[in-house]
Structure formats: C-alpha cells, structure tokens
C-alpha cells in the first residue's frame, strides 16, 4: 500500500498531454503591440501587406478583458454619405479633448487632434490651456505644409471658443482657410474628429489598464496611440494605412513593442565606470518620431529618457505598488557618510600583510609549521566594530523580547488584545483557584512581525505560550501529537496540481492551536498585562 511512508498513486502518462501542446498564438502579442487594435484590422494589415514585419494573424476565440472594460461601445447609428477630400490637406478636422486629470508630466490638461481628411493621418498636440489651440494649429500648419507641399484649404471644428477667437478667425482669413463650423449641439457634423478622439482614448485607456499604469501617463499613452493609429487600417481607406497614404511609403512595424512593458536600456560609457551595470531597468512609454529611439520612463528618478539600445521583456510588468527610491527618506541625517569612510581608510594598515610562511613553489621548504588551531583572542582581534548607521539598520523594526518592551508600542498592544480576545472567544480557559497538590505553569508572550515578499511588515502577531518545560511526562501529560503534513506529501500534491493544471488554494486558520482539546486539566498563571486581581490563577 505504501512506500517511503507515502501512498502509491497511479499517475497518468504525460505523453498525450505533450502531444496536445501548442505554440502560443502571436496574435495576442501583436494585438497588444498595436494598442489593442481589433483582430479584423490586424488581419487586414498582414493579408494586404499594408505594413512590413507582421505575421499572419488569426482571430482567437478568447476575449480581451482590457478591451471589454475600456472600449465597450454603444450600437452605431446609421451611416451617412459624406464627401471626401481628393488630395492632402484639402480638409482638416480638429477637436480638443479635456480637461484630463491628473496633469501629465508636462503639466498638460488637454490635447488637440488634427486629422487630414484625405489620408486620415492624425497629429496630436498637448495643451496646458484650451487657448493654446491656436498656437498648436500654427505649428501644425507649418509642419504639414512643408512636409507635403500642399496648403490647408479648410478646417472643420466645433464652435468652441478656442477655435472661434478673433485671432484664430483672422489668421484663417489671412491664409485663405475656410471654416466649416458645426451647428450648435451637433457634434455628429464633426464626426471624423469626434470618432478619432474616441478611438484614441479607447486605445489609451486599454493600454494603461492592461499594464496597471497610473493615469498620469495619459499624455504618453495618447501620443503612442496616435502613432499606432497612423499605422493601423481604417475603413475610410482601402487596404492602405494613413501613414502610407500620407508619405507614399509602406511603414515598417518591426520596432513595435507593448506599451508599459519592461525595457533594459544600455547605460552610455560616459555615465558608468568599469564595474557599474551596463543597463538599467525602465518602462517603455512610446516612440520618438524625431529620432530612431524609444521613449522610456525611470520610476526611480521619474524622468523620461530616449534610447535606441534597448532590450524588451514584453511579458513583464512593472510593480507600480512597490516603493521606489523616490519614496525613501534619509532617516540618519546626522551621520556624515564621507567622514565615516575617511575614518575607515585612516585605520587601515598601509603596510603589506606578513607572509604566511608557506612557499608558492613546490620545491621550497620552510622551518615554520602551519598552526592547526587558533586562539579565540586572535579571532576576536580580527572582528571590526559595527559603525552607528549599520547598527541602527541591524536593530530597525526589531521584535520585542519582553512584555515591558512590547506594551510601550501601540501596535504590539493591539496584537496582544487580539490574542486575548481569541482565547476568550474560544473558551480556552476559565478563571479559578489553584487546587491543592497541583502545579501552576507560567506563561510567556511571544512576538513575531510577519513580512511580505518585499520585506514590508504586514502583520504584528503575538502568541501566549505556556512554559511547558516545567511539566513532567507521565505526571502532567501522557502523549504529545501534532497533525502536521509531511513535506513530501505537500510536494506530491503540488506536482499533481501542476500536471493536471489544478488551482491551489491556501488558507490559514486563525489561532488554530486554540481549537484543540486537552485530556488533562492544566493550570497556568494569568498573562502579564491582563491579570484580574480578584483571582490570581487561570485554568
């Protein structure tokens, strides 16, 4: 029945499971690289060779939870026929979105989109105030007209004050730009800009959601969404992307990576010494269109850097809940670290160490014998005193060793209250007097600070234990047994769960030892701090 104190189990052969294994579908990774673009659009990119470097995409059976949370739309209204521009910049759509909270890293609260009706390419500018839309339009006009060789003929916007100011109207009249404005409370007439605005926000919201990133990255993720949108298919164009329609060149997508993934950027030689790390761990937050590099964010310094020498771990996500170096504070401001280091250097003996008496060559000999033993005095003399800062670090968050020490701390006092409450709730003891010919056993408080994986204290735990070493076998007790699972059994269950892909649930019974039953009557002292003076003994 058993072998090595374990039951024999008839395990299934893993061969059929291996034969049924499959390679992970790349469709999901490209779905995330393109800012959670719909799979129909991804398939069109590959089938019609609209971009370079994308594999064949199939629509998976699963649903993307981040897309459901971030993009769930209403049913569309009936389509209306619209006239389209026949050349670049013949008609430009614009719309301002905001205010958005919190502010971006650049203190922006708004962004404005400009969409070329002919190519459907989109440009984005970030604004601190709505009134900056006019300056953004002038920058946009200069950029696109020099880049394309065409001039803007018409600008379609709503009737927001940022688009209808006197200086905006005068500028458009001066340059011969028509202003087809929407009818009040009719955003459908500016449908191209409104729809693009919604698309960009859906992409941005989804990318932030999938990587658990803060909303303060909204400007970076919006810029990334616009970049990806220009390289994604649209129903307004047939088998071609907005970027290719605008530039005449098929865009490559070999460089695309998942927004918010972990990136390792090389540290330039000028910024590191010989033994320093050659790369640093950052977060990918977008593309730099002005140079061939990636935009990366350092959570420690909270700065954005541009780098081209980057290695990505697209499946990894930064733990935004953990504290960064910025969250730490100098708790020893009265120590001069440089002074301490100078003292250590001065105490070192500049003379070389004495020779050990052993020759490095096999043929040499020495009259001195190597000692086999060392005196304790020699060992003690070699130890170094711990400096003040290291001593404080060693004693930081130390657990109390006595009740007198613990009762001065409120958190340990609450932990002891919880322990006494659990004892009373479980009817573990009752107050009584000590009968004759019975021995009373003392009790002691034990203290333990439970820490999580990051080394942070998550619970202060106390236990009231009896000083059982005063008891005698055969007099105070007979048998001692604790039903604890053997480690081999636990390993076996974990192996079975891994083979059958079971979920493992873990639970903890609070104050489990209080639920046991004793065959003997045990008399103990009342615990320190909770003594009822009228009765001095508990059982």
pLDDT tens digit string along 49-96? Answer: 778 877 777 766 566 777 777 766 655 544 554 578 888 999 999 999
| Predicted local distance difference test score (pLDDT) of residue 138 | 93
Q: Which pairing describes strands 523-525 and 537-538: parallel, antiparallel, or unpaired?
A: antiparallel
| Predicted local distance difference test score (pLDDT) of residue 433 | 82
Of the candidate ranges 287-301, 354-368, 411-425, 495-509, the one whose mean pLDDT is the lowest: 354-368
Would you call the peptide bond into 198 cis, given omega within 30 degrees of 0 as the criterion?
no
Query: How far apart are alpha carbons 126 and 275 in whole angstroms?
Result: 41
Contact yes or no for 54/46 (Cβ under 8 A): yes
**Quick one: CA dihedral 161, 162, 166, 169, positive or negative?**
negative
Q: Which of 31, 518, 45 is nearest to 259 (CA)?
A: 31
Asked whether the predicted pLDDT for residue 367 surpasses 50, the reply is no
| Predicted local distance difference test score (pLDDT) of residue 381 | 59
Continuous segment of H or E residues that includes residue 492: helix 487-500
Position 364 confidence tier, pLDDT thresholds 50, 70, 90? very low
| Predicted local distance difference test score (pLDDT) of residue 116 | 92
Asked whether the predicted pLDDT for residue 355 surpasses 90, the reply is no
Continuous segment of H or E residues that includes residue 537: strand 537-538
Query: How far apart are alpha carbons 116 and 89 in whole angstroms?
Result: 6
| Predicted local distance difference test score (pLDDT) of residue 20 | 57
| Predicted local distance difference test score (pLDDT) of residue 442 | 84
| Predicted local distance difference test score (pLDDT) of residue 178 | 92
| Predicted local distance difference test score (pLDDT) of residue 241 | 92
Instruction: Measure CA 233 to chain center.
Output: 32
- Is the model more confident about 125 or about 269? 125
| Predicted local distance difference test score (pLDDT) of residue 121 | 93
Contact yes or no for 250/239 (Cβ under 8 A): no
Query: How far apart are alpha carbons 40 and 55 in whole angstroms?
Result: 14
Asked whether the predicted pLDDT for residue 328 surpasses 50, the reply is no
pTM of the model: 0.50
Please write the tens of the pLDDT for every residue from 226-281. 999 999 988 888 889 999 999 989 988 888 899 999 999 888 888 777 787 788 89
| Predicted local distance difference test score (pLDDT) of residue 145 | 92
Asked whether the predicted pLDDT for residue 45 surpasses 50, the reply is yes
Give the number of other CB atoms < 10 A from CB of residue 325: 10
**92-247: CATH superfamily:** Ribonuclease H-like superfamily/Ribonuclease H (3.30.420.10)
- Is the model more confident about 350 or about 456? 456
* Range(s) of the chain covered by CATH 3.30.420.10: 92-247
Contact yes or no for 59/39 (Cβ under 8 A): yes
Query: How far apart are alpha carbons 529 and 444 in whole angstroms?
Result: 11
Asked whether the predicted pLDDT for residue 343 surpasses 60, the reply is no
Place of tokens 């310094």: 301
- Cβ burial 353-369 (10 Å sphere, 16+ → b, else e): eeeeeeeeeeeeeeeee
What is the maximum alpha-carbon separation in the chain?
112
Query: How far apart are alpha carbons 492 and 499 in whole angstroms?
Result: 11
| Predicted local distance difference test score (pLDDT) of residue 429 | 82
Indicate the SS3 state at residue 382: helix
Structure tokens at 478: 């007979």
SS (H, E, C) 467-488: CHHHCCECCCECCCCCCCCCHH
| Predicted local distance difference test score (pLDDT) of residue 135 | 92
Position 137 confidence tier, pLDDT thresholds 50, 70, 90? very high
Q: What angle do CA 444, 448, 452 make, to 5 degrees?
A: 165
| Predicted local distance difference test score (pLDDT) of residue 292 | 83
Residue 278 gets which letter from DSSP? S
Place of tokens 């020893």: 332
Asked whether the predicted pLDDT for residue 291 surpasses 70, the reply is yes
Please write the tens of the pLDDT for every residue from 419-464. 888 888 887 888 888 888 777 888 888 888 888 877 778 888 888 8
Please write the tens of the pLDDT for every residue from 146-201. 998 999 999 998 888 888 899 999 999 999 999 888 877 666 777 888 889 899 99
| Predicted local distance difference test score (pLDDT) of residue 230 | 92
Indicate the SS3 state at residue 294: strand
Look over the chain and give the mean of its residue pLDDT values, rounded to a whole number. 77
| Predicted local distance difference test score (pLDDT) of residue 277 | 79
Using only C-alpha atoms, the chain has a radius of gyration, in whole angstroms, of 36
Asked whether the predicted pLDDT for residue 326 surpasses 50, the reply is no
Distances in Å between the Cα of 453 and the Cα atoms of 290, 309, 450, 456 are: 42, 32, 10, 7
Query: How far apart are alpha carbons 35 and 45 in whole angstroms?
Result: 14
Backbone angles phi, psi at 140, to 5 degrees: -60, -45
Indicate the SS3 state at residue 292: coil
Q: Using a pLDDT cut of 70, give the percent of the chain over it.
A: 72
**The residue count for the chain:** 539
| Predicted local distance difference test score (pLDDT) of residue 92 | 92
The residue-averaged pLDDT of 466-492 equals 72
Say if residue 344 is exposed, middle or buried (CB neighbours under 10 Å; 0-12, 13-18, 19+).
exposed
SS (H, E, C) 359-380: CCCCCCCCCCCCCCCCCHHHHH
Asked whether the predicted pLDDT for residue 127 surpasses 90, the reply is yes
Position 42 confidence tier, pLDDT thresholds 50, 70, 90? confident
- Is the model more confident about 113 or about 427? 113
Helix, strand and coil percent figures for the chain, each rounded to 5: 30, 20, 50
Query: How far apart are alpha carbons 180 and 20 in whole angstroms?
Result: 61
Residue 157 gets which letter from DSSP? B
Residues 6+ apart with CB under 8 A from 188: 77, 194
Beta-bridged to residue 286, according to DSSP, are: 295
- Is the model more confident about 258 or about 480? 258
Continuous segment of H or E residues that includes residue 459: strand 457-466
| Predicted local distance difference test score (pLDDT) of residue 496 | 85
Position 392 confidence tier, pLDDT thresholds 50, 70, 90? low
| Predicted local distance difference test score (pLDDT) of residue 173 | 92
Position 349 confidence tier, pLDDT thresholds 50, 70, 90? very low
């Amino acid at each position: 029945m058993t072998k090595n104190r374990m039951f024999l189990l008839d395990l299934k052969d893993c061969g059929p499971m291996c034969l049924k294994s499959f390679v992970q579908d790349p469709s999901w990774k490209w779905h995330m690289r393109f800012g959670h673009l719909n799979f129909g659009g991804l398939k069109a990119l590959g089938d019609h060779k609209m971009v370079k470097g994308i594999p064949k995409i199939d629509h998976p059976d699963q649903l993307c939870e981040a897309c459901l949370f971030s993009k769930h739309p209403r049913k569309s209204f009936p389509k209306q026929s619209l006239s389209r521009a026949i050349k670049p910049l013949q008609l430009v759509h614009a719309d301002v979105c905001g205010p958005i909270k919190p502010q971006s890293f650049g203190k922006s609260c708004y962004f404005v989109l400009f969409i070329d009706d002919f190519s459907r390419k989109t440009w984005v500018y970030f604004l601190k105030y709505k009134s900056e839309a006019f300056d953004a339009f002038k920058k946009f006009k200069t950029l696109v007209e020099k880049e394309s060789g065409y001039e803007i003929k018409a600008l379609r916007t709503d009737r927001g004050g940022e688009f209808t100011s006197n200086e905006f109207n005068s500028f458009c009249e001066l340059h011969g730009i028509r202003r087809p404005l929407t009818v009040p409370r009719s955003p459908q007439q500016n449908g191209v800009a409104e729809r693009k605005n919604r698309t960009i926000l859906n992409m941005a919201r989804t990318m932030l959601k999938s990587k658990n990133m803060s909303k303060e990255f909204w400007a970076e993720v919006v810029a990334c969404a616009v970049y990806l949108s220009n390289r994604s298919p649209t129903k307004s164009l047939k088998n071609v992307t907005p970027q290719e329609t605008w530039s005449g060149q098929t865009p490559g997508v070999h460089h695309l990576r998942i927004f918010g993934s972990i990136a390792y950027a090389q540290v330039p030689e000028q910024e590191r010494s010989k033994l320093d790390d050659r790369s640093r761990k950052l977060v990918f937050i977008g593309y730099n269109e002005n140079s061939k590099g990636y935009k990366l964010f350092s959570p420690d310094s909270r700065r954005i850097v541009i780098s081209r020498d980057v290695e990505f771990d697209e499946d990894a996500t930064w733990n935004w809940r953990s504290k960064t170096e910025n969250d730490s504070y100098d708790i020893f401001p009265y120590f001069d670290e440089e002074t301490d280091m100078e003292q250590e250097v001065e105490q070192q003996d500049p003379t070389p160490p004495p020779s050990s008496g052993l020759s490095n060559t096999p043929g040499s000999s020495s009259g001195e014998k190597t000692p086999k033993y060392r005196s304790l005095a020699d060992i003690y003399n070699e130890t170094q005193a711990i400096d003040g800062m290291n001593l404080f670090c060693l004693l930081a968050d130390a657990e109390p060793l006595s009740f007198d020490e613990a009762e001065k701390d409120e958190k340990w006092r609450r932990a002891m209250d919880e322990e006494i409450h659990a004892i009373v709730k479980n009817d573990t003891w009752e107050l009584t007097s000590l009968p004759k010919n019975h021995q009373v056993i003392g009790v002691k408080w034990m203290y333990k600070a439970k820490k999580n994986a990051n080394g942070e204290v998550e619970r202060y735990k106390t236990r009231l234990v009896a000083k059982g070493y005063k008891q005698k076998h055969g007099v105070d007790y007979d048998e001692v047994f604790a039903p604890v699972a053997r480690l081999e059994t636990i390993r076996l269950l974990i192996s079975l769960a891994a083979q059958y892909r079971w979920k493992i649930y873990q639970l903890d019974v609070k104050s489990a030892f209080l639920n046991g039953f004793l065959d003997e009557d045990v008399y103990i002292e009342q615990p320190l701090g909770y003594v009822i003076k009228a009765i001095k003994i508990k059982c």
